[in-house]
Amino acid sequence: MAQGNAGRRRVLIVEDEALIALDIESTLSAAGFEVVGHAPTLAAAIAAAKTEAIDAAILDVSLARQQVWPAAKILVERGIPILFLTGFANEPFPPPFDTASKLEKPCPLEVLVARLTALFPT
């Protein structure tokens, strides 16, 4: 794993709504995570998925009406845990994401932190 400063878990946020991304970043930082970046577009998400040294990623499914699946596929291939945060949580996700961890927007931020923490073995 790519744990950063003092063993903090490194997390990528993929979210096209800037205010939501800032709320998530602030909450994760306060909870002891290191946010390594914010990807607001599919292209940025794909680039980050390929190159960032991260321990997990929080992905919005729809980025400006583009589906995040190509970036998610790269993360899965790298063995990086994903938490989907989406307004489409009740819709079926395509394999291999159909069993992935997901939360529906809006989501209490303490629930987001708990679910993200649960992605890591103790």
The DSSP bridge partners found for residue 102 are 84
pLDDT at 95: 87
Task: Give the pLDDT band of residue 116 (cuts 50, 70, 90).
Answer: very high
Q: How much is the pLDDT for 2?
A: 56
pLDDT at 11: 97
Contact between residue 24 and residue 112 where contact means Cβ atoms under 8 Å apart: yes
pTM, two decimal places: 0.90
What sections of 1-122 are H helices per DSSP?
18-30, 42-51, 69-77, 109-118
Give residue 6's pLDDT.
Answer: 44
Residue 107: what pLDDT? 87
Q: Please report the pLDDT score of residue 5 as a whole number.
A: 47
Mean pLDDT of 44-62: 96
